[in-house]
Amino acid sequence: MKVLFIVPEIRLDTAPNHFPFWAGILAAIVEQKGGQVGILDLNALRDKYDGNVVPTQKIIEEISSEKWDLVGMGGLTTTYARIKQIAPLVRKYAPDSMFVGGGGWSTYNPIEILQLVPELDLIVIGEGEETFSELYDEVNNGSKDFAKVDGLCYRDENTEFKFSGPRALISDLDTVPFPAYDLMETEIYFKYSSLNLSAASFNSKRRVSTVWERGCPRGCTFCSHNGMSRIDLQNIYGEGDRKAGEKLVRISDKENDTFQLPARWPTPEYAVNNVKLLVEKFNVDFVSVLDENMTSNLKWTQQFCDLYTSEGLDKTVKWGTLGDAPSVAVKPEIIQTMKDAGCEYISFGFESASDKVLNEDIQKGQLRKHLQMTVDTIKKARMTPITTFMIGNAHENINDLMETVDFWIQNNAEIDPFICTPYVGSPIFYNNQDFLLQQYDSKLKMIADGKFNVSPDIIKKWKLEALDKFMTECGDATKYTATVSQYYTIPELIVIKEFMYKQDTRRLLQMAHNKFDETGLPQWKHDEKWSHYCEVCSSKKHLEKTVNYVTNN
């Protein structure tokens, strides 16, 4: 059986940085089964076309080069627009192949994706290794009884959309094969080894990326995990109704005699062996561990560091990863442990320095004091704090924004914040779905306000079209899409983002003073505690003193 995996381009404003893990792992599974497999990595191959997308003719040539039995295409939500462009080519030039979608771009709303990308035959939901393995066997045997394979959404013979049974998350990640690195465009990725996050990553010549963790123990409302956590599965199978989805996931728990954890890791031995393999095959000098939150599993991280050091890798292969502030607050010494084991950087998602926003909107379980403790701990270990922040959270007002800018000023930090993006699959998407879609079709807002009476079928059609527009705009996490903010419009957030980056509190607070509601009252009124940053307030006080002086004299 012949299988082709297509990796779409992503974030064309940056170089290709990370191996396509999903394609490599699934390719390894095909090889284990004795099949023939190829990876068309458009994200890497764009390097041959001056950093632009791969020409259509080249894609046609690659698809037409073999008679593929199965073509799979995956990626994050940010690849949606490009996948929609490529899908018709797959259907036209590999007409007899089974065309399968998978990954974050299609996992969370598979029925809508099958409607918006009609060339697809079916979608693998969430974690794909076991589902794909069984699907491969089913196609190889000449059968199309998709109901037998858990973890699918597909069209039946009547073109109705159906789900097979829920797929339990993989309990033993050591069973996942290492990616088929030999099939990847490794030299293109090595060409862009330099990563400006630490001295060692910047000077690296053979840097690779890897990922071991699946899911995350934190419940951040803006985040999704590619269908690889329990919370994801509850949302997917409940189609946004978490309680309905939870019932199905519990049935899956019972059938598989397991409890599907929100976050899972392979053994530290698996992770270290992965690095040793990369050293053996490619003589790598730096590893970017893209785990969502390595420090959240303190026991695992300690064991990994101990083993990494005992194997002597700490001296030859430096590494960096991601962590979170609450875990550092519990065990600050883990930072020094990681550094001693060769860790060069740890990136933290701080999101906001406002306790109100952190509690109400982010819900990661961290507060400003945790952020400060983490910064101090990182500096004590003589590492550079790397943090990310976002603005445009639902309940974030001018006082919350000032809390964040004040934190940057107090810590002499230069931060360019993201504008909060409510990606499909995140809690803030499900909680604000109608509000988000109304930003792409004003008719939906007018209908919601009761100004017009339109049939449910037409409303459903318009919502699908609005969803398509929204997902098409999600091509770059640094750009704006829709907003969940109850205070600011997208144009206002763009200006606020610039003022905050420059720590221009004068203009930020001037802007606040000039914003009024329909009754003429200040809409962005700031607290007295920020008056020392505010030129308007200081000018008013100066004038009051001057007027009083003149009047009294």
User: How much of the chain exceeds pLDDT 70, in percent?
Assistant: 95
The string of DSSP letters for 447-509 reads HHTTS----HHHHHHHHHHHHHHHHHHTT-TTS------SS--HHHHHHHHHHHHTT-HHHHH
pLDDT of 553 > 60? The answer is no
Whose tokens are 């730096």? That residue is 286
pLDDT of 438 > 90? The answer is yes
Whose tokens are 């000077």? That residue is 203
Amino acid 365: pLDDT? 93
Amino acid 467: pLDDT? 97
Nearest to residue 465, comparing CAs of 40, 116, 137, 24?
116
Confidence of residue 520 (pLDDT cuts 50, 70, 90): low
Amino acid 250: pLDDT? 74
Number of residues in the chain: 553
Domains along the chain? 2-174 (3.40.50.2300), 192-427 (3.20.20.70), 506-552 (no CATH)
pLDDT of 137 > 70? The answer is yes
- Report whether 75 contacts 105 (CB < 8 A): yes
Rounded mean pLDDT of 276-288? 98
Distances (CA, A) of 172 to 175, 212, 228, 267: 6, 12, 13, 9
The strand pairing partners of 322, in sequence order, are 347
Amino acid 524: pLDDT? 81
Nearest-angstrom CA–CA distance, 227 and 336: 33
Nearest-angstrom CA–CA distance, 471 and 91: 22
pLDDT digits (tens, 9 = 90+) for 8-17: 998 888 899 9
pLDDT digits (tens, 9 = 90+) for 310-334: 999 999 999 999 999 999 999 999 9
Nearest-angstrom CA–CA distance, 544 and 532: 16
Rounded mean pLDDT of 181-190? 96
Compare 216 and 337 and report the one with higher pLDDT: 337
Rounded mean pLDDT of 479-499? 94
Rounded mean pLDDT of 241-251? 70
Q: What are phi and psi of 391, to 5 degrees?
A: -125, 165
The pTM assigned to this predicted structure is 0.93
Amino acid 257: pLDDT? 66
pLDDT of 133 > 90? The answer is yes
Compare 377 and 552 and report the one with higher pLDDT: 377
Nearest-angstrom CA–CA distance, 73 and 96: 16
Rounded mean pLDDT of 367-389? 97
pLDDT of 84 > 70? The answer is yes
pLDDT of 246 > 80? The answer is no
pLDDT of 264 > 70? The answer is yes
User: Helix crossing, 56-64 with 80-93: angle to 10°?
Assistant: 50
Confidence of residue 256 (pLDDT cuts 50, 70, 90): low
Amino acid 549: pLDDT? 56
Rounded mean pLDDT of 296-319? 97
- Report whether 42 contacts 54 (CB < 8 A): yes
pLDDT of 179 > 80? The answer is yes
Nearest to residue 237, comparing CAs of 162, 157, 131?
162
User: How much of the chain exceeds pLDDT 90, in percent?
Assistant: 79
The strand pairing partners of 388, in sequence order, are 349
Rounded mean pLDDT of 155-163? 84
pLDDT digits (tens, 9 = 90+) for 497-516: 999 999 999 999 999 988 87
The strand pairing partners of 346, in sequence order, are 321
Confidence of residue 521 (pLDDT cuts 50, 70, 90): low
**Mean per-residue pLDDT of the chain:** 92
DSSP state of 158: T
Amino acid 161: pLDDT? 92
Amino acid 144: pLDDT? 83
Rounded mean pLDDT of 132-152? 93
pLDDT digits (tens, 9 = 90+) for 16-71: 999 999 999 999 999 999 999 999 999 999 998 877 899 999 999 999 999 999 99
Nearest-angstrom CA–CA distance, 319 and 339: 9
Nearest-angstrom CA–CA distance, 208 and 107: 27
Amino acid 224: pLDDT? 86
